[in-house]
A and B are shown apart, each in its own frame.
Chain A
């Protein structure tokens, strides 16, 4: 098992290196002169040249990459030349919002998707299965801004149960904080559960055809035990993969949902950085988000091993 963890960790290194290179290239290949952006239209060519020298922009690309990477490895991702905030400060300010949104959305998504998938698979082709599979398609084809507006209309405007927009940190008003997050999390979860449901349902249906399920029935086990112990665990590998991808994606923020519900998350930080050509922030945040994605996938790999002993022992 330790061997497996070490191998997986080593495999992450080249991925992270490639991520850093791509992040750097994307940011430096954006058109426009950074020094000109900082100084504005009125800058004299001398001032621009001086700033370019100061920022190292006159150096070749590879040298700039290595020097940036060197700083990154020392924990220095740079500082916004607009606000003076460091990348880490900016991310630290925004990440709790995106993290909480991600956790709540995935939790609600799994809470809906997993039981529905199990119920559908247990009676595949039955009325409930056909109804839910159809509904999943219908909901999946609705764009999130539409879902968000419908939810706001129903729960905020008509019923007055929940606030439409706004944010307070959890540490200040825990209950209000949760109330602000319900609708955005629900909006995301409604887009998440059909995918969760569909992969788990089809894996469960395949598992339920297995000989060991027939044997579990022949052993006289309770139907719930067969479904939840014998069938669910071997069917959840794809589910874990999909959940990992969802988490990674939501870590990077969700621009549309954050904008509609006025949540100060990573998504809005990134778009703001693009609009203001704040390349240092853009580059740093993309790198951190990509690293988060890689780490989540590492955790997914570890979960595979937990779920399937054959992977743990290197048999599959």
Chain B
């Protein structure tokens, strides 16, 4: 397997009136062709900023350092024209909210065909035929009629399927799905995730799923990176992570998922407190103020990512959990 994407020492800083906000704090990640990486964390942990850094879609004022190597090229240093040719063809994205990510004044056909015609040398009839195929592949009934319709004539789930069809249209090597199901009804979520997984296998593309829900990545990602306050705090092959998580934050995230077999009216163990103010970085571990295991050293120094016994399992904690997790955290 060849490495498709390497994120090396990437940091993103945003100037704010209250000082510089470090949205992404020196993150290293890598992804092999055809594999799936799940990036998990709560709102504001920097997971979306990290994905925008890969796509080079950061806000104008943001400062990016580090390297984003995609297919042998550093995206952060690529000329705008080369980047444009890459985006949409090799590198595709599905955004969180399908209600806002499709242009309201252009037909679905236009929005699909323009991507295809931009990157593949197809004439209009061929692009149209391909669009119909794509819509059928993502489970849109009567795809030919849909082409002439506008986004507001489709439901949210339907729109997300269309956004996925657009992302898949040029057979990308990497698909970034940024909270692809967060804005959708619960009943639709599993369908969309299954659709993404099926198309990924069929097209042999690599995928990054960004989510706040460990349950979303559980059966679907090969590897999971847990982010907190801009840093990767635990990273492991998915089975290893769920078998034995070391970082108390990961454990708390998992505990915050409602369980079907729990007795009715069991209070959900929410993580108390808030993430630290990203414009005022802490000296110690960012999670220490909310961590029930935190002790002296946690407030003094930042733990670095350390290898666990399982190969590929990294965690950043001075007091890792030793018990088998997933039971009752």
Contact = CB atoms under 8 A, between A and B. Distances in A.
B97 A211 contact: yes
Interface string B108-119: 000000110011
A214 B153 contact: no
A232 to B, nearest CB: 10
Nearest to A220: B88
B89 interface: yes
Contacts of B97: 211
A82 interface: no
B182 to A, nearest CB: 13
Contacts of A221: 84, 88, 114-115, 118
Contacts of B91: 218
Contact of A222 (B55, B86, B118): B118
A220 B89 contact: yes
Interface magnitude class on chain A: 20 to 34
Contact of B57 (A218, A223, A229, A309): A218
A234 to B, nearest CB: 5
Interface string A272-316: 000000000000000000000000000000000001111001010
Interface in B89-131: 89, 91-93, 95, 97, 100-106, 114-115, 118-119
Contact of A219 (B100, B105, B115, B152): B115
A124 to B, nearest CB: 9
A303 to B, nearest CB: 13
A308 B107 CA distance: 11
Contacts of A315: 152
A242 interface: no
B85 interface: yes
Contacts, number: 77
Contact of B105 (A217, A225, A233, A313): A233
B101 A215 contact: yes
A218 B93 contact: yes
A307 B87 contact: no
Given A220-B86, A220-B89, A222-B84, A214 B95 contact: yes
B26 to A, nearest CB: 25
Contact of B103 (A216, A222, A313): A216
A212 interface: yes
Interface string B279-291: 0000000000000
Given A218-B55, A219-B88, A221-B115, A210 B106 contact: no
A210 B100 contact: yes
Contact of A234 (B95, B103, B153, B163): B103
A222 B89 CA distance: 13
Most buried by B among A211, A225, A310, A315: A211
B150 interface: yes
A230 interface: yes
A225 B117 CA distance: 13
Contacts of A229: 106, 114
Interface in B135-178: 150, 152-153, 163, 166
Contacts of A223: 84
A210 B166 CA distance: 18
B87 A230 contact: no
A220 B95 contact: no
A219 B150 contact: no
Given A211-B95, A310-B150, A313-B152, A219 B87 contact: yes
Contacts of B84: 220-223
Contacts of B88: 218-221
A224 B102 CA distance: 18
B100 to A, nearest CB: 4
A211 B100 contact: yes
Contacts of A233: 105-106
B115 A309 contact: no
A308 B105 contact: yes
B95 A310 contact: no
Contacts of A222: 84, 118
Contacts of A225: 114
A203 to B, nearest CB: 13
A212 B102 contact: yes
A230 B110 CA distance: 11
Nearest to A217: B57
A310 B104 contact: yes
Nearest to B170: A220
Given A220-B119, A222-B118, A309-B152, A215 B86 contact: no
A26 B119 CA distance: 64
B105 A309 contact: yes
Interface of B: 55, 57, 84-89, 91-93, 95, 97, 100-106, 114-115, 118-119, 150, 152-153, 163, 166
17 contacts: A215-B93, A218-B55, A218-B57, A219-B114, A219-B118, A219-B166, A220-B86, A220-B115, A221-B88, A230-B103, A233-B106, A234-B103, A307-B105, A308-B105, A309-B105, A309-B150, A313-B152
Given A219-B166, A220-B86, A223-B84, 13 more contacts: A214-B57, A218-B55, A218-B87, A218-B91, A219-B118, A220-B115, A222-B84, A222-B118, A234-B104, A234-B105, A309-B150, A313-B152, A315-B152
Counting from the closest, the 7 A-B pairs by CB-CB distance are A220-B88, A220-B87, A219-B88, A211-B100, A309-B150, A212-B103, A211-B101
Interface of A: 210-212, 214-223, 225, 229-230, 233-234, 307-310, 313, 315
